[in-house]
Amino acid sequence: MLNIIRSDLFKIYKGKAFYGVMLGLLGTIILVAGIFKIIQTPAFRASMSTHEEMFDADDIVGVEEAQQYMPSNGGEFLVLMNQELGSSFLFFLLPFVIAVLGADYSSGAYRNLLSYHSGRGGIYAAKMLTSIILTVLMLVCTSVMNIIIGGIVFGFGGFTGTVLLGTVKSIIMMLPILISLIGTAHCVLAFTKKTSTTIAFYLVGLTVWSVILQIPAMLIPGMEWLLQLDFSSSIKMVGQYAMNADVKIMVPMIFSFLLIAGTYVFGMIKYKTTDFDFS
Amino acid sequence: MRILKEIILQCKGITKQYSNTRALEQVDMQIRQGEIYGFIGENGAGKTTLLRVIAGLISPTEGKLSLFGKDDEQGLAKGRKRMGCIVEGPAFYPSLTAYDNLEYYRIQRGYPDKDCINKALKLVNLENTGKKKFKQFSLGMKQRLGVALAIMGNPDFLILDEPINGLDPGGIVEFRGILKSLSKEHGMTILVSSHILSELEQVADRYGIIHQGRLVKEFTQKELELNTRRYLSVKVEDAAAAAAVLEQKMGITQYEVLPGNELRVYSHLDNPAEVTFQLTSNQIRVMFIREMGGTLESYFLSAVAQKEK
């Protein structure tokens, strides 16, 4: 099992996809930091104040008020990004992890794997562990990039022990939710054996799942808690929890662990008994 | 006394049923150590399905498979580690080089010796591909890389599914040489499937013909030679008298007399005129004389036709 993980990490290291995705993420972080920086410039504030007067919009957050949410140093930028990190992971980085997981199917290399390693349970577990390692690696890299870019753009102030510990905590707390999504995708892969179908299922599923939860949550009184099962919301909550322990995250955590266990069992059973007989 | 070698592969009554088709039906097959077994069949006959069963990609609906004498799950798992396979063509990661693809599998399979990659690449003449990625390889190069992976861990049993597909004439000759060397010098047992029968004919020791999921015939190279031997088919008025002339006047001993006054003469293939001359000189009327005999193709077709009858 360890050899399968090692070989997959070698493949990621040798391939270009991981670096490409990380470069894309770096570009996004630079863009976000740049926008925040521009918003904070006196010229931009003056221009926005003029617009505010022109539209006389009472319900729009005022420029001065909005400035309060803008990071004034690298530490604040890191906290802000930690809270918003989830959405980039859900729609940008996890599909990449699924693509790595599904590369065996798209290249046909699963034939070489299965004809040598007969213990399919071990293979399934190894692939799952590889994708978890990859996710952790990407979370850490993203946080490091946030620290560096935030520091360069907003200055290296604010990186207190609380902020850094909060970042580590948010990575750890985010993991069960991300693993539950990877586990679901891995399970779908075991059924469809097609990477593209699985990624499409994953992205469409995220949106549909969110809609399914929102309808009863809005229409039926007392069902608001369902929103906590929405992955985007739960990741945001976990990000907030890292800095504020009052945020309740019990429901999304339990749901994640149940999803991990369920999809793992279903996926494993399917993977162990399936015929790999398509060309 | 003939010493029987170890049975490497044994299939007993292997059947594979898909929802509405039966891909394999009661296939019995046995391969002994050191043999090169040519597995012949038309497209869709069931060759790849059986190879998938042996490689563990699919499970048989019925029947028993044993590898190196073991048929339990653990034994099969151990057996498969002694196997090298290409099933359904070579499959590698497109953006990695030949070396990196093999390094990936070396790590995955836990081979400690890094040099095994270079040895395998050298054996298939891919040692100089440098930074060229798999996706830039020609079909022949891809096939050879598949063979390199299959032989990388010095397996005892090699399974090659249509390995000659896509190879140019030079590549086919080269590939034949590789197979012979693996069998003779490395003592590997090889199961090779193909529909290019002329190529199998030059390397295999034993053959199996599969047709519509059934193994319709198994035969050795000697049996094939005997059955596809070229001969002069001579139709005469009096076969007994003709046989006497062949023996006494021409010294021919390799002949057969068939019903209907027909003779099969296995020598003098290059000089049928001489045979005709001797027979007619001895007042034996020759109705026709022509060179006949088969190839693996014709043998395969007759075996399939017989089964269909």
Contact yes or no for A14 and B52 at CB 8 A: no
Cβ atoms of B279 and B265 within 8 Å: the answer is no
Q: What is the pLDDT of residue A52?
A: 56
Mutation site, A6, A12, A127, A277, interface B, largest B CB count within 10 A: A277
**CATH code that applies to domain B7-225:** 3.40.50.300
SS3 of chain B: CCCCCCEEEEEEEEEEECCCCEEEEEEEEEEECCCEEEEEECCCCCHHHHHHHHHCCCCCCEEEEEECCECCHHHHHHHHHCEEEECCCCCCCCCCEHHHHHHHHHHHHCCCCCHHHHHHHHHCCCCCCCCCEHHHCCHHHHHHHHHHHHHCCCCCEEEEECCCCCCCHHHHHHHHHHHHHHHHCCCCEEEEEECCHHHHHCCCCEEEEEECCEEEEEEEHHHHHHHCCCEEEEEECCHHHHHHHHHHHHCCCCEEEECCCEEEECCCCCCHHHHHHHHHHCCCCEEEEEEECCCHHHHHHHHHHHHHC
Tell me how close the Cα of B150 comes to any Cα of chain A, in angstroms.
9
Q: Taking 60 as the threshold, does the pLDDT of residue A55 lie above it?
A: no
Q: Taking 90 as the threshold, does the pLDDT of residue A73 lie above it?
A: no
Rounded to whole angstroms, how far apart are CA atoms B56 and A118?
Answer: 7
Q: What is the pLDDT of residue B105?
A: 92
Work out the average pLDDT over A178-201.
88
Helix axes A74-88, A231-241, angle to 10 degrees: 160
Closest residue in chain A to residue B110, using alpha carbons only: A3
Tell me how crowded residue B295 is: count the other CB atoms within 10 A of its CB.
14
Domain ranges in chain B are: 7-225, 230-293
User: C-alpha angle A62/A67/A68, rounded to 5°?
Assistant: 105
Contact yes or no for B80 and A108 at CB 8 A: no
Q: What is the pLDDT of residue A50?
A: 62
Q: Taking 70 as the threshold, does the pLDDT of residue A85 lie above it?
A: no
Look at residues B193, B191, B52 and name the one whose alpha carbon lies nearest to residue A279.
B52
Architecture of the domain spanning B230-293: 2-Layer Sandwich (3.30)
| Contact B89/A at CB under 8 A | yes
Chain A residues lying within 8 Å of B107, measured CB to CB: 3, 6-7, 10
Pick from A17, A108, A114: CB nearest B56: A114
Looking at chain A, the whole-number percentage of residues with pLDDT higher than 90 is 5
Per-residue pLDDT reduced to its tens digit, A90-100: 777 788 888 88
Q: What is the pLDDT of residue B37?
A: 92
| Contact B104/A at CB under 8 A | yes
Q: What is the pLDDT of residue B106?
A: 92
Q: B31 to each of A29, B41, B190, B226, B259, how far by Cα in Å?
A: 61, 17, 9, 21, 37
Rounded to whole angstroms, how far apart are CA atoms A124 and A264?
Answer: 9
Q: Is A185 exposed, middle or buried (0-12, 13-18, 19+ CB in 10 A)?
A: buried
Contact yes or no for A277 and B96 at CB 8 A: no
pTM of the model: 0.78
Cβ atoms of A255 and A176 within 8 Å: the answer is no
| Contact B149/A at CB under 8 A | yes
Q: What is the pLDDT of residue A278?
A: 60
Q: What is the pLDDT of residue B99?
A: 93
Q: What is the pLDDT of residue A235?
A: 83
pLDDT string in tens for chain B (309-residue length): 555 678 889 999 999 998 888 889 899 999 988 889 999 888 888 889 999 999 988 889 999 999 998 888 888 888 898 999 888 878 888 889 999 999 999 999 888 888 889 988 988 888 888 889 999 998 888 888 998 899 898 899 999 988 887 777 877 888 888 888 888 888 889 999 987 777 787 888 898 989 888 988 888 888 777 777 788 889 998 999 999 998 888 888 888 888 888 888 888 888 888 889 989 998 899 998 988 777 777 777 777 777 766
Confidence of residue A51 (pLDDT cuts 50, 70, 90): low
Q: Taking 80 as the threshold, does the pLDDT of residue A211 lie above it?
A: yes
Q: What is the pLDDT of residue B197?
A: 76
For this complex, say whether ipTM is above 0.85: no
Per-residue pLDDT reduced to its tens digit, A136-159: 888 888 889 989 998 898 888 888
Contact yes or no for A11 and B96 at CB 8 A: yes
Closest residue in chain B to residue A2, using alpha carbons only: B108
Work out the average pLDDT over A161-175.
86
Closest residue in chain A to residue B55, using alpha carbons only: A115
| Contact B111/A at CB under 8 A | no
Q: What is the pLDDT of residue A117?
A: 74
Q: Taking 90 as the threshold, does the pLDDT of residue A67 lie above it?
A: no
Confidence of residue A258 (pLDDT cuts 50, 70, 90): very high
**Binding-face residues of B in 198-227 toward A, CB within 8 A:** none
